[in-house]
C-alpha cells in the first residue's frame, strides 16, 4: 500500500533559495520504493515536503537518508514553537486517492 510522509518546516528569513537548492539534491527515486517528491510553499517562508513511497518498509528504510538531508537543513530552519522543534512530521498509508 502506498505511504506518504508530510513534513512542515519554516525557513529563516533570506534562506528560501538555499532551502530549495538543498532539496534539489534529494533524489527520492534513487531509493528503493521512492516514487515522488514535492516541495510545496504554503506561506511566507513556510513549506511542506511530501514524499510518496511504495510501502511503509521503503519509507522506514529511507529514514537515515531523510535525516541526513534534514541535518543539512537545520541551520536554516526556524523553530516552529510549541515544543515541535524545526519540523512537524506526519506519515501513514494512503486511505484514498482520486485522480491520476
pLDDT score recorded for residue 92: 96
Does any domain span residue 20?
Answer: yes
Does any domain span residue 98?
Answer: no
* Number of domains making up the chain: 1
Range of the domain at 9: 3-92
Question: What would the pLDDT profile of 28-79 be if each residue is shown by its tens digit?
Answer: 878 889 999 999 999 999 999 999 999 999 999 999 988 988 999 999 999 9
Does any domain span residue 52?
Answer: yes
CATH of residue 23: 3.30.70.100
Does any domain span residue 19?
Answer: yes
Distance, in Å, from the CA atom of 33 to the CA atom of 21, rounded to the nearest integer, reads: 23
Does any domain span residue 28?
Answer: yes
Secondary structure string (H, E, C) spanning the chain:
CCEEEEEEEEECCCCHHHHHHHHHCCCHHHCCCEEEEEEEEEECCEEEEEEEECCHHHHHHHHHHHHHHHHHHHHHECCCCCCCCCCEEEEEECCCCCCC
Does any domain span residue 97?
Answer: no
Q: Is the pLDDT of residue 20 over 80?
A: yes
Amino acid at each position: 500500500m502506498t505511504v506518504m510522509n508530510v513534513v512542515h518546516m519554516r525557513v529563516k528569513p533570506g534562506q528560501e533559495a538555499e532551502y530549495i537548492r538543498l532539496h534539489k539534491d534529494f533524489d527520492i527515486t534513487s531509493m528503493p520504493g521512492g516514487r515522488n517528491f514535492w516541495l510545496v510553499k504554503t506561506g511566507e517562508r513556510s513549506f511542506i515536503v511530501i514524499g510518496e513511497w511504495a510501502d511503509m518498509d521503503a519509507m522506514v528504510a529511507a529514514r537515515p537518508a531523510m535525516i541526513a538531508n534534514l541535518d543539512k537543513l537545520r541551520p536554516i530552519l526556524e523553530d516552529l514553537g510549541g515544543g515541535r522543534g524545526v519540523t512537524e512530521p506526519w506519515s501513514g498509508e494512503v486511505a484514498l486517492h482520486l485522480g491520476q
